[in-house]
Amino acid sequence: MRAVIQRVSRASVAVGGVVTGEIERGILVLLGVAKGDKEPDADYLAEKIGGLRIFPDAAGKMNLSVTDVGGGLLVVSQFTLMGDCRKGRRPSFDPAAAPEDAITLYNYFVQVVREKGIPVATGVFQAHMDVELVNDGPVTFVMESPQ
């Protein structure tokens, strides 16, 4: 699994002009699922993202987690994160999991994060989505499960 995470002051996702998920302060997670990914991959990323200290403390140092600041996650599925652009001019999506496998792991990831007590909003799997965000910092990281 691969995730692009961005610290945001607000973020939302809409499908057909209708907002399906939004958060204020928190983390936008763009989540890609690869062939062969399993629940331990989702567990790993949920644990890392939920505990990642990327919010400033009173001294301005990145020392607080999303839980510490009372924030939430907006999780958006993004199979294009698995795209391979090394050859030619058209990305190959061969590394991406099949939709039926990806949605299962995507939903599992969301469930695990919610079980940690972190509020989670989501997009709509396989829909064309408009994602809006205000990247706070900017602070952006790319994370991968250890697979």
Whether 20 sits among the annotated catalytic residues: the reply is no
Please say whether the beta carbons of 56 and 63 come within 8 A.
yes
Please say whether the beta carbons of 16 and 79 come within 8 A.
no
Catalytically annotated residue among 6, 79, 109, 122: 79
Residue 16 above 80 pLDDT?
yes
Q: At what angle do helices 99-115 and 39-51 cross, to 10 degrees?
A: 40
Cα separation, 5 vs 119, whole angstroms:
16
Whether 78 sits among the annotated catalytic residues: the reply is yes
Taking only the tens place, the pLDDT of each residue in 104-141 is 999 999 999 999 999 999 999 999 999 999 999 999 99
The separation between CA 81 and the C-alpha centre of its own chain, rounded to angstroms, equals: 11
Domains of the chain, residue spans: 2-137
Whether 80 sits among the annotated catalytic residues: the reply is yes
Catalytically annotated residue among 80, 111, 126, 147: 80
The pTM score is 0.95
2-137 maps to which CATH number? 3.50.80.10
pLDDT confidence of residue 146: 85
